[in-house]
Structure 1
């Protein structure tokens, strides 16, 4: 686990107009999803991989619970996104709106204003990039969707790639995706290590 993922979770700004068709499909998918659970694997620039579970509830809530032995947590509670490191007892915070993951968290957000579609070799795959060219220090995030008629809006989120300002790459791959399942708000509570809390 590295800080590359949270470093890439910075504020996107407007980018040049993207092809509306694919972005419209992604928009339809996102608006069709009220909750989601999935397993994930995260691979950093040194090819180290950790796994865990992701839980999403819109609007504004997401949790990345890492495998046993990884003393870190990424969680959004509806207003803020937190990167929690229990080993060093530190917490970093970002407003949810300042993260490209706001694409997943805000069902009302118009992604055509801050995202663009990238070409892919496979017509079944859609690649959507969020990037602020005026602030390269924020990095970029590219989300990968696969066309799937059984999924909401006909798309399945497969994962994303985050690049920080030093081009450190972190890749998230999702599996066992389940959409619109019951998720309790309590799933997004977390223990603050600065107050003695443990994962």
Structure 2
């Protein structure tokens, strides 16, 4: 039998190596998605400072409060008459300057991927490659409901944080391609958070406390 040359052996081996590499990459992707899922389920409460930048480059700051499942509050800096509250069922945007209230189910918002532990991230999330191995980026989008938008969550690997991850921030893109980037600092986990933190005052005529 004629002996195979080294180049031919390498050529024959290439598909197997490629398949092995793809399998390893797939396992790593599944592992990373599982870590993010574990993080979301492990974080019962969190507070943090945030800075929010919109598509026009305007940046606002404030305090974020989160309590699972589904409760979140964006308290903006002094002088900004805006409040965003998730009460476990709906996400509400209150503009006190124009006395306007907008409300929709949390499941219809990109934020649902972050504040709904019951969601199975493996079904609608994918790992986005980064140049830094210490950074894990996961994009979540429901392919059946593109109108709900997309969120790309950014984590820093940190053994001291829940599930070994520290939420660094996220980028949300709604169905109108409005891009909002949020960066977090001073994260604190497991702090006492009362349900009253997710109530708000209705600025409309005959307004009342809600939440």
Give the TM-score taking structure 2 as reference length.
Answer: 0.80
Q: What are the equivalent positions in structure 2 for 1:47-196 lying under 5 Å apart? A: 47-194=57-204, 195-196=206-207
Contact 2:110 2:149 in 1 (8 A): no
Residues 90-112 of structure 1, C-alpha deviations (whole Å, 9 max, x = no match): 11111122223222222232111
How far has the Cα of 1:163 moved from its partner?
2.0
Bigger proportion of residues as helix: 2
For 1:78 and 1:168, the matched residues in 2 are separated by: 24
Specify whether residues 93 and 43 from structure 1 end up closer, same or farther in structure 2 by C-alpha distance, changes over 3 A only: same
For 1:59 and 1:135, the matched residues in 2 are separated by: 22
Q: Does 83-92 or 146-155 show the bigger shift?
A: 83-92
Paired residues in the alignment total: 181
How far has the Cα of 1:168 moved from its partner?
3.1
SS class of match (1:97): helix
How far has the Cα of 1:32 moved from its partner?
1.2
Task: Give ranges in structure 2 of 5+ residues lacking alignment.
Answer: 1-27
RMSD: 1.9
Counterpart among 29, 50, 55 of residue 19 in structure 1: 29
For 1:95 and 1:165, the matched residues in 2 are separated by: 15
How far has the Cα of 1:148 moved from its partner?
0.5
Residues 93-152 of structure 1, C-alpha deviations (whole Å, 9 max, x = no match): 111222232222222321111211111111111111122345544432111011001101
Which protein has greater RCO, CA pairs closer than 8 Å, 6+ apart? 1
Highest Rg: 1 or 2? 2
For 1:137 and 1:102, the matched residues in 2 are separated by: 13
